[in-house]
Homo-oligomer: A and B are copies of this chain.
Amino acid sequence: MEKILLVDDEQDILEFIGYNLSKEGYEVITSSNGKEAIKIAQKENPDLIILDVMMPEMDGIEACLELRKIEKLKDTLIIFLSARGEDYSQVAGFDAGADDYISKPIKPRLLVSRVKAILRRKGSSQEEAIDEEGAIRIDREKYLVYKEGEEYSFPKKEFELLALLISKPGKVFTREVILDSVWGGEVVVGDRTIDVHVRKLREKLGDQYIKTIKGVGYKFEA
């Protein structure tokens, strides 16, 4: 279960966001100010920290800068919450090392989908970081595929398919799972569609990376 640290000086917002995230199965810890949040973060080691930009005493940006100084929290994901879409704080947010931000007023659905997206990104980017040798690497944030130092831009479906296969090298993904994950449950497309996308990937990456397991599915191998 993923742990999320939520920091805002307004109790209402803590409750509102907290409720929505708990409902989705996340473990939520809260704090009402930046200083306290840093202490809690060090103790609890959350997967994600959601920080309000505007807070008394120590605001979100400052807190973020502090958090980034702490070695073990360097890679912790940070999302900013900001009052409006147009102020300086947003940009400064990225300068300070934030990974995403959400503007108020907060819509539950949007919030949840952002949180999911960013946590998924973390999961895969960590695995990617490990295999630094001659193989293939992907960067979800930049939406790029790297092969031997070169970077390539892939169409969405190809990218998602590769991302799925590469997320667990060696594991065989059945056609059913692939369809479900890349195309989404409801969409119905023919079986050849997967083949064609696999072919395009092989064309771009080379045949050796994606292996066919007849009657079962496909897998990625370094």
Binding site for B on A (CB under 8 A): 54, 56-57, 59, 61-62, 84-86, 88-95, 100-107, 109-110, 112-113, 116-117, 120-121, 124, 140-143, 153, 155-156, 160, 163-164, 167-168, 170-172, 176-177, 180-186, 211, 213-216, 219
Across the interface, do A181 and B103 meet the contact criterion of CB distance under 8 Å?
yes
Shortest A123–chain B CB gap in Å is 10
For the complex with contacts A103-B181, A142-B171, A143-B172, 10 further pairs of A-B residues with Cβ separation under 8 Å are A54-B113, A62-B116, A86-B160, A88-B117, A90-B167, A94-B167, A103-B180, A103-B185, A107-B185, A143-B216
Interfacial chain B residues near A117, Cβ < 8 Å = 59, 88-89
Across the interface, do B216 and A156 meet the contact criterion of CB distance under 8 Å?
yes
Assuming the contacts A113-B54, A141-B172, A172-B141, asked whether A181 and B90 have C-beta atoms less than 8 A apart, the reply is yes
A101 to B172: give the CA distance in the assembly, Å.
Answer: 14
Who on chain B is nearest to A181 by CB?
B85
Who on chain B is nearest to A82 by CB?
B181
Assuming the contacts A90-B164, A141-B171, A156-B215, asked whether A59 and B116 have C-beta atoms less than 8 A apart, the reply is yes
Which of B57, B164, B172 is in CB contact (< 8 Å) with A142?
A: B172
Which of B56, B101, B168 is in CB contact (< 8 Å) with A113?
A: B56
Interfacial chain B residues near A177, Cβ < 8 Å = 100
A62 to B180: give the CA distance in the assembly, Å.
Answer: 23
Which of B59, B61, B167, B184 is in CB contact (< 8 Å) with A103?
A: B184
Assuming the contacts A88-B140, A186-B105, asked whether A94 and B168 have C-beta atoms less than 8 A apart, the reply is yes
Across the interface, do A181 and B112 meet the contact criterion of CB distance under 8 Å?
no
Assuming the contacts A117-B88, A171-B142, asked whether A124 and B105 have C-beta atoms less than 8 A apart, the reply is no
Across the interface, do A156 and B214 meet the contact criterion of CB distance under 8 Å?
yes
Interfacial chain B residues near A84, Cβ < 8 Å = 184
Shortest A10–chain B CB gap in Å is 13
